């Protein structure tokens, strides 16, 4: 699969853009573990052109993580064009436009998935951004605003006509948020459109190597984005790339437990180094809360609460060290029981 001249190989697996998740450190870890392409956190066009420091920091790219995309969002043409030009100066491989974020503070203001209620404006922004920069422009969006307005088949063709180099589709409407199941049959309908010739990337509920294989084999997409399933579990890319190589999910070997814990400690260290100890730990709690490392451990709730309340690196590492030791000694786990929520 190619995005313009960027060759991602056959059946690429990508790290989806996620706010407060896909910072530079996490992107690089996922890249090292097999992600073929990574995407930045959401970059607000309005905040970028006002030079808000927290936003401009999102433009930093580690050369080792390439190819990578920086994703912007906004609701007006001029700020989006100005932001696109600023992003181009950061030299990403791809500029992605976010027409898919469903959260109220974005979509409720007309940006992100909110653009699904104003298709003429969406197309105007897309055309203007494509014209303004010399790097490939892609779009990530959803099926439509709600169940009665699943417009993605026609919309995909319209976005292609604006000059985008690839399209990513999350298989839910904005109204669904992240509830229910992603509609991969609808994504397949987009791919089956004989007039669509740009690569189609599918997104939504890709949580296992088997689901990844299904996305390619049953629904025919050119690439797949992995989002929430990678939070706290970046080694999912290692497993998925094995499945693609084997052609089956059977026989996939997970990383050794010690390597997973080493990656988790690295995430904590790099989060602290990037911000500071207190805020770095706050940032990483989202990964700790859902990590597969801690699923199915009997009577783990008190330990999980202590881990998520730890305020210092020493305190947090002491808890993680004790859990690793317990697992290494062979504590029985209960795979059928999901204790990931506290």
Q: Indicate if 239 and 270 belong to the same structural domain.
A: no
Q: Indicate if 9 and 140 belong to the same structural domain.
A: yes
Residues 6+ apart with CB under 8 A from 50: none
CA-only gyration radius of the chain, Å: 20
Please choose, from the candidates 80, 54, 84, 52, the residue with its C-alpha nearest in 3D space to the C-alpha of residue 69: 84
Q: Indicate if 231 and 315 belong to the same structural domain.
A: no
Does residue 305 fall inside a structural domain? yes
Predicted pLDDT at 341:
35
Q: What are phi and psi of 189, to 5 degrees?
A: -65, -35
Q: What are phi and psi of 69, to 5 degrees?
A: -120, 145
Q: Indicate if 158 and 215 belong to the same structural domain.
A: yes
The two beta strands, 137-142 and 6-7, are unpaired
Among residues 246, 266, 292, the one where a domain terminates is 246
Q: Indicate if 203 and 300 belong to the same structural domain.
A: no
CA 306, CA 92: separation in Å to the nearest integer?
39
| Total of domains in the chain | 2
Is the CB of residue 46 less than 8 Å from the CB of residue 79? yes
DSSP secondary-structure letter at 137? E
Is the CB of residue 249 less than 8 Å from the CB of residue 243? yes
Query: What is the CA 35 to chain-centroid distance, rounded?
Result: 11
Does residue 339 fall inside a structural domain? no
Q: Indicate if 213 and 262 belong to the same structural domain.
A: no
Predicted pLDDT at 340:
34
Among residues 226, 246, 266, the one where a domain terminates is 246
Predicted pLDDT at 10:
95
Q: Indicate if 210 and 283 belong to the same structural domain.
A: no
Residues that are catalytic: 101
Low-confidence ranges of the chain (pLDDT < 50): 336-342
Does residue 341 fall inside a structural domain? no
Q: Indicate if 191 and 315 belong to the same structural domain.
A: no
Three-state SS at 51: coil
Where are the strands (E) in the chain, listed by range? 2-3, 6-7, 13-15, 37-44, 68-73, 94-99, 137-142, 166-170, 200-203, 223-226
Q: Indicate if 219 and 273 belong to the same structural domain.
A: no
Please choose, from the candidates 232, 251, 241, the residue with its C-alpha nearest in 3D space to the C-alpha of residue 33: 241
Q: Which two tokens stand for residue 77?
A: 């043409």
Does the pTM surpass 0.75? The reply is: yes
CATH assignment at residue 26: 3.20.20.70
Q: Indicate if 303 and 156 belong to the same structural domain.
A: no
Range of the domain at 212: 2-246
Please choose, from the candidates 94, 127, 123, 96, the residue with its C-alpha nearest in 3D space to the C-alpha of residue 18: 96
Does residue 74 fall inside a structural domain? yes
Does residue 261 fall inside a structural domain? yes
């Amino acid at each position: 699969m190619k995005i313009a001249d960027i060759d991602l190989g056959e059946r690429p697996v990508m790290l989806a853009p996620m706010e407060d998740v896909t910072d530079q450190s996490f992107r690089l870890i996922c890249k090292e573990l097999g992600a073929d392409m990574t995407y930045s956190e959401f970059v607000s066009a309005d905040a970028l052109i006002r030079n808000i420091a927290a936003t401009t920091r999102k433009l930093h790219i580690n050369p080792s993580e390439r190819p990578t995309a920086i994703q912007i969002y906004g609701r007006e043409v001029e700020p989006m064009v100005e932001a696109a030009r600023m992003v181009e100066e950061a030299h990403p491989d791809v500029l992605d436009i976010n027409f898919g974020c469903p959260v109220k503070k974005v979509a409720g203001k007309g940006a992100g998935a909110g653009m699904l209620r104003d298709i003429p404006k969406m197309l105007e922004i897309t055309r203007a951004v494509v014209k303004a920069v010399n790097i490939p422009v892609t779009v990530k969006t959803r099926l439509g605003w709600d169940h009665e307005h699943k417009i993605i088949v026609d919309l995909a063709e319209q976005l292609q006509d604006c000059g985008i180099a690839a399209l990513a589709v999350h298989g839910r409407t904005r109204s669904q948020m992240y509830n229910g199941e992603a509609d991969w049959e609808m994504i397949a309908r987009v791919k089956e459109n004989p007039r669509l010739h740009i690569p189609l990337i599918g997104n939504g509920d890709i949580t296992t190597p088997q689901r990844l294989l299904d996305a390619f084999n049953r629904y025919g997409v050119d690439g797949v984005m992995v989002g929430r399933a990678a939070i706290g579990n970046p080694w999912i890319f290692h497993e998925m790339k094995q499945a693609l190589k084997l052609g089956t999910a059977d026989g996939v070997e997970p990383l050794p437990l010690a390597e997973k814990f080493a990656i988790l400690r690295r995430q904590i260290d790099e989060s602290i180094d990037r911000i500071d100890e207190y805020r770095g730990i706050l940032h990483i709690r989202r990964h700790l809360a859902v990590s597969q490392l801690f699923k199915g451990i009997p009577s783990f709730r008190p330990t999980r609460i202590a881990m998520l309340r730890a305020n210092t690196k020493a305190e947090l590492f002491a808890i993680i060290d004790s859990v690793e030791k317990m697992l290494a000694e062979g504590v029985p786990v209960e795979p059928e029981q999901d204790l990931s929520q506290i």
